[in-house]
């Protein structure tokens, strides 16, 4: 729905119209069948990101893809998405001539469905924004931001622009530095990594056949995520000082650094997109809820990008919160009731904490050059490689279809 000045009483206000906020607004609007008044607030206009493109690509799990299908989003990004047929894992040092593949996953869950898809960030943002804009149950309030909130039986919200409204529930999807999380008094625990994430897109001469590659290099993992055509998104983690040096290089020298890490398998490389970088950090909100308040996505947890799970975790948050709120609504409970929010927190917090710790551990395990450690992980991965059952379990876990899965991730309507 078109932009509106905020007014009156809302059932649900979502702050932050990035991936998690857009998906959550759409999921709630669908599940609550127009019976709830929903506002989506963002500091920036909501819509295609023409002037500030996001160079990233996401490895979306099969569960996330099923959810996007229900939301009516997948059809709009399917052409830009590359199914991942297999994942290769290697861990050689930079100067090693040969790069033995340690582990190859047949990246499919039961029934041959790909366990993951690489989806470029730009088309995904545009598809989510288009679906939300066409959803008459969502009022977009942008550019605007929430200045304060307080209340008990209902929240009194004030906006930076001066408007004041009431809301039953406020959801923070406002990113890793979530201002609302701070205003709710929720602290987070975490740490910075002495590493920088670098993202760019390359074109290569030979076809990738849908193979994603994760090179564990001493500075951090270097991932090659296949895109449609002979293109790939590079998601590359480097020790911070080295990253600064590389980012300052001109295109030709930058490409040379990429080429050195890429491995020669896909032929001649050329740059096919802008480069972006950001410092790496990990954090986890100490609580996911406060009275009439919940956090989702990066506002709740920032994981190491090593496994590409950040957006999958965010969509899982959105699916679980939608289900908890909808089940409460179907019992006639207040949408911001403690019962609904406590169920969401019990459901998601343990999962996210385990993921955060696991990805952190993987990073420590792989981002170093100790010979003994290298030998130990080679043996470990070699064992996994020879056990089809263990591999299948890893693939299913990464596909987001194990455990207590929210209905949307199973491809079912809430």
Partner 1 sequence: MIETLEPKSAKSNIDDAEVARFRAIAAEWWDPHGKFRPLHQIGPVRLEFIRDELIRHFGLKSGLKPFAGLRLLDIGCGGGLISEPLTRLGGSVTGIDPGAENVAIARAHAEPQGLAIDYRAVTAEDLVAAGEQFDAVVCLEVVEHVPDVGAFLKTCAALVRPGGLMVLSTINRTLKSYALAIVAAEYVLGWLPRGTHQWDRFVMPDEMARYLANAGMSAPRFSGMVYAPLRDEWKLTPDTDVNYLASSARPV
Which positions touch partner 1 (CB under 8 A)?
Answer: 9, 32-33, 35, 153-154, 166, 328-334, 337-339, 342-343, 346
How near is the Cβ of 135 to partner 1 at its closest, in Å?
17
- Min dist CB 331 to partner 1, Å, is 4
In the complex, what is the shortest distance from the CB of residue 166 to partner 1, in angstroms, rounded to a whole number? 8
Strand partners, 170: 13, 293
Complex with partner 1: residue 9 or 286, whichever CB lies closer: 9
Which C-beta is closer to partner 1: that of 149 or that of 193? 149
Is it true that the peptide bond before 143 is cis, omega within 30 degrees of 0?
yes
Q: Any bridge partners for residue 150, and if so which? A: 156
Nearer to partner 1, 138 or 335 (CB): 335
Classify burial at 95, counting beta carbons within 10 Å of its beta carbon; exposed 0-12, middle 13-18, buried 19 or more. exposed
- Which tokens hold the place of 166? 């009431």
Contact in structure between 141 and 40 (CB atoms under 8 Å): yes
Residue 323 C-beta: closest distance to partner 1, Å: 14
Considering the complex, state which of residue 208 and residue 292 has its C-beta at the smaller distance from partner 1. Answer: 292
* Least Cβ distance, residue 68 to partner 1 (angstroms): 24
CB of 356 to partner 1, least distance (A): 22
How many Å apart are CA 23 and CA 116, to the nearest integer? 18
Minimum CB–partner distance for residue 11 and partner 1 (Å): 10
Degrees (nearest 5) of the Cα angle 310, 312, 317? 95
- Crossing angle of helices 371-385/388-398, nearest 10°? 100
Distance CA 200, CA 275 (A): 5
Contact 101, 265 (CB under 8 A): no
Cα radius of gyration (the chain): 22
Residue 168 or 237: which CB sits closer to partner 1?
168
CB closer to partner 1, 181 vs 343: 343
Q: Minimum Å distance from CB 329 to partner 1?
A: 6
Shortest Cβ distance from residue 293 to partner 1 (Å)?
A: 14
What backbone phi and psi angles, to 5 degrees, belong to 153?
-70, -25
């Amino acid at each position: 729905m078109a932009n509106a000045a905020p007014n009156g009483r809302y059932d649900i206000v979502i702050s932050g119209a990035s991936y998690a906020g857009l998906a959550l607004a759409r999921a709630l609007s669908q599940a609550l069948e127009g019976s709830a008044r929903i506002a989506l607030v963002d500091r920036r206009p909501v819509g295609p990101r023409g002037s500030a493109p996001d160079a990233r690509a996401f490895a979306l799990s099969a569960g996330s893809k099923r959810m996007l299908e229900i939301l009516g989003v997948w059809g709009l990004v399917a052409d830009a998405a590359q199914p991942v047929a297999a994942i290769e894992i290697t861990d050689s040092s930079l100067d090693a001539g040969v790069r033995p593949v340690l582990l190859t996953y047949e990246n499919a869950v039961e029934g041959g469905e790909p366990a993951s898809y690489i989806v470029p960030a730009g088309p995904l943002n545009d598809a989510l924004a288009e679906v939300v804009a066409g959803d008459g149950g969502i009022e977009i309030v942008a550019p605007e931001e929430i200045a304060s909130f307080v209340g008990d039986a209902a929240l009194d919200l004030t906006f930076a622009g001066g408007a004041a409204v009431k809301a039953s529930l406020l959801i923070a999807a406002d990113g890793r530095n979530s201002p609302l999380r701070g205003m709710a008094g929720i602290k987070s625990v975490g740490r910075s990594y002495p590493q920088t994430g670098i993202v760019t897109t390359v074109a290569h001469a030979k076809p990738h056949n849908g193979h994603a590659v994760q090179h564990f290099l001493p500075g951090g993992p270097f991932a090659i995520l296949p895109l449609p055509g002979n293109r790939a998104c590079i998601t590359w983690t480097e020790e911070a000082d080295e990253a600064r040096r590389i980012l300052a290089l001109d295109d030709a020298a930058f490409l040379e650094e990429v080429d050195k890490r890429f491995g020669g398998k896909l032929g001649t490389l050329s740059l096919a997109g802008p480069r972006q970088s950001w410092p790496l950090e990990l954090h986890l909100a100490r609580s996911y809820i406060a009275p009439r308040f919940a956090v989702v996505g990066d506002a709740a947890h920032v994981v190491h990008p090593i496994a590409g799970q950040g957006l999958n975790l965010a969509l899982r948050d959105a699916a679980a919160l939608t289900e908890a709120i909808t089940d409460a609504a179907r019992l006639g409970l207040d949408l911001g009731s403690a019962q609904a929010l406590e169920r969401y927190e019990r459901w998601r917090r343990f999962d996210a904490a385990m993921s955060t710790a696991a990805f952190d551990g993987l990073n420590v395990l792989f981002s170093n050059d100790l010979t003994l450690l290298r030998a130990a992980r080679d043996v470990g991965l070699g064992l996994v490689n020879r056990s089809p059952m263990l591999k299948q379990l890893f693939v299913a876990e990464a596909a987001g279809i194990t455990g207590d899965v929210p209905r949307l991730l199973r491809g079912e309507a809430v």
